[in-house]
Structure 1
Amino acid sequence: MAQYVGVSTKTIRVYHAKGLLPEPPRDASGYRRYTAQDLVEVIKIRTLAESGMPLARIARLTAGSPGDLRSAAGAAEAELSARIDRLVETRGRLRELAAGNNPFLPGEVEQQLRRLHDLGFSDRWIALERDLWILAFATDPETAHRYFADQAEAQADPVLGRLYLDCDRAHDLSPDDPELDDLAARIVDASLARYPADELREQLAGAALPQLVQSSVNASSPAWERLDALIRSGLRRAVS
């Protein structure tokens, strides 16, 4: 049987074990005796298996109508196409990794993070931003894109960029350092000049994503935590 059909004897035994092919009775010498119809059934099973059809479906299909087979083949093709799409996407991500790119962030975000080195930001700040952008883009891509575009524009501005740099360098200050009060006042003034009062009120109301990002920032530095409190307090007074 195996030689006629071009499969191994182990494969024939699997077909028996799975209930795809009834096991024939043995003759007086203990050999199984297969018929021509058995050969036809094995050819059908092998052909369907080689086309990617799961063995669990094959028994039902070989006993069904041609329409059943066409329907199952269409479903199997759709599943295979979806699997191919996922594999192509995975290959693309692996190529990005091999090229040294960050697969977790849009390309423009990674480019901006690399530019921060030239602008004078610390490795600590850049690493923190990278993690926070990964979090933001994974949880709320639309909002993250909007915040990213706004921040990239601000960091490129000489005056606003200076405020970001001062925030970076405030990381190791004591929470009681008066520099924090001065920095908070400058940030409040810049925010009032840059954003409408309604937008600032909305930010202070605490949308989920900004709250999550800010809590992560505050947890990394007591000075940053106090700076955030001073900024919020100053903005609330200004827009209330």
Structure 2
Amino acid sequence: MPWSTREVAELAGTTVNTVRHYHAVGLLAEPERSSNGYKLYEVAHLVRLLQIRRLRDLGVPLTQIESLGAGAASPEAALRAIDADLAASITRLQRVRVEIAAILRGASASMPAGFEEVSSALSEAEQSMMLIWAQLYDDEAMADLRSMLAAEPSEADAEFQSLPADAGESDIQRIAERFAPTFEDLFTRYPWLLDPRGHLTHSPQRTQDTVVATITALYNPAQREAIARASVLAAERLHRKDDA
């Protein structure tokens, strides 16, 4: 016995308006009509509706389904694309769970993804800096920064953190000279630190402005001067080696 539009919609678990829409876009063939003009849906129509609903539940867009007739196979390309998206989502969720587990073990949530394990050894200023740096530099650069931060902190690091804003010239120069060999080693191992243009995710000008603003906000004048001097000393040492 044929079904009415309402009846076939109920059997397919959809709505009358949806059935009409499928007719309008060519997904569902129009059924024959009775003498009084009512549509008469057969088993083939119900099967097609269920097929459409199944594909929609899997995430196949209507534009992909439109090219399929009632007896056509599933849209392989669309299904493969959806499967790839699901695989990527699973990978992302697994990574998120790892990050959450690290935070629950005591790592800081105020760090970029992947930096949780090194966060406990960093100052609040360094944690804030890494959050900002993650917006400025690409994944390769951030991986290098993570490796740098994994090193054991030195006595010079502690002295630098405690350096007061009104520190004298001799104290600033002493910190700079103690940091210079470390900076030289980092510049040698990671040359992009001296010319990061190949690792930027924003324009060089925006990156420079953000770096300057960040360092100015997070470090006091004496600390900034010590960093600047250490960088200059390290660069000079590298140049002397190159000229030798």
**Is 1:133 aligned with 2:133?**
no
Task: Tell me whether 1:206 sits opposite 2:194 in the alignment.
Answer: yes
CA contact (8 A) 1:105 1:134 kept: no
C-alpha separation in 2, matches of 1:31 and 1:58: 27
Q: What letter corresponds to residue 141 of structure 1 in structure 2?
A: M
Equivalent residue for 2:147? 146
Counterpart contact for 1:44–1:62, Cα < 8 Å = no
Q: 1:73 aligns with which of 58, 72, 76?
A: 76
Alpha-carbon spacing, 1:144–1:189, altered in 2? closer, same or farther (3 Å)? closer
Letter in 1 for 2:149: F
CA–CA distance in structure 2, aligned partners of residues 236 and 92 of structure 1: 38
Please report how far the alpha carbon of residue 112 of structure 1 lies from its aligned counterpart in structure 2 after TM superposition. 2.5
Query: How has the CA–CA distance of structure 1 residues 226 and 33 changed in structure 2, closer, same or farther, with 3 Å as cutoff?
Result: same
Q: Which residue of 106, 117, 124 maps to 1:108?
A: 117
Structural mapping, 1:160-171, within 5 Å: 160-161=154-155, 163-171=156-164
Distance 1:225 1:193 in 2: 16
Per the alignment, in what secondary structure is the counterpart of residue 79 of structure 1? helix
State yes or no: 1:6 paired with 2:6: no
Q: Which string of whole-angstrom CA distances, capped at 9 and with x for unpartnered residues, describes residues 103-122 of structure 1?
A: 62333212423xxxxxxxxx
- Higher helix fraction (1 or 2): 1
2:131, 2:182 → 1: CA distance?
29
The one-letter amino acid paired with 1:130 is: Q
- Kept after mapping to 1: 8 A contact 2:60/2:82: no
Question: SS of 1:170's equivalent?
Answer: coil
Alpha-carbon distance in structure 2 between the residues aligned to 1:12 and 1:199: 67
1:230 aligned partner: 229
1:188, distance to aligned residue in structure 2 (A): 1.0
Q: CA deviation at 1:13?
A: 2.4
Where structure 1 has 5 or more consecutive residues not aligned to the other structure, the ranges are 114-125
Supply the distance in 2 between the matched residues of 1:192 and 1:44 (Cα, whole angstroms).
Answer: 69
Find the aligned partners of 1:95 and 1:196 in 2 and give their Cα distance. 32
**What per-residue deviation string (whole Å, max 9, x for no partner) do you get for residues 77-134 of structure 1?**
4522432441452365257448545362333212423xxxxxxxxxxxx221112233
Of structures 1 and 2, the one scoring higher in RCO (CA 8 A, sep 6+) is 2
Any conservation in 1 of the 2:172–2:223 contact (CA below 8 Å)?
no
Q: Which residue of the partner structure matches residue 48 of structure 2?
A: 41
Q: Aligned to 2:62, which of 39, 45, 55? A: 55
Contact 2:52-2:65 within 8 A present in 1 as well = yes
- In structure 1, what is the Cα distance between the partners aligned to 2:20 and 2:47? 16
Unaligned runs of 5+ in 2: 200-206
Calculate the TM-score normalised by the size of structure 1: 0.64
RMSD, matched Cα: 4.1
C-alpha distance in 1, partners of 2:187/2:84?
48
Which residue of the partner structure matches residue 29 of structure 1? 36
- Work out the CA distance in 2 between the residues paired with 1:186 and 1:8: 73
Tell me which residue corresponds to 1:185: 174
| Amino acid paired to 2:63 | A
> In the superposition, relative to structure 1, how do residues 206 and 17 fare at CA in structure 2: closer, same or farther (>3 Å)?
same
Of all paired residues, the percent bearing the same amino acid is 21
Structure 1: which amino acid aligns with 2:96? R
Question: Contact between 1:185 and 1:231, CA under 8 Å: does it hold in 2?
Answer: no
What's the counterpart of residue 86 of structure 2? 83
* Cα displacement (A) at 1:15: 1.7
1:198 deviates by 8.2
One-letter amino acid of the counterpart of residue 89, structure 1: R
Letter in 2 for 1:73: E
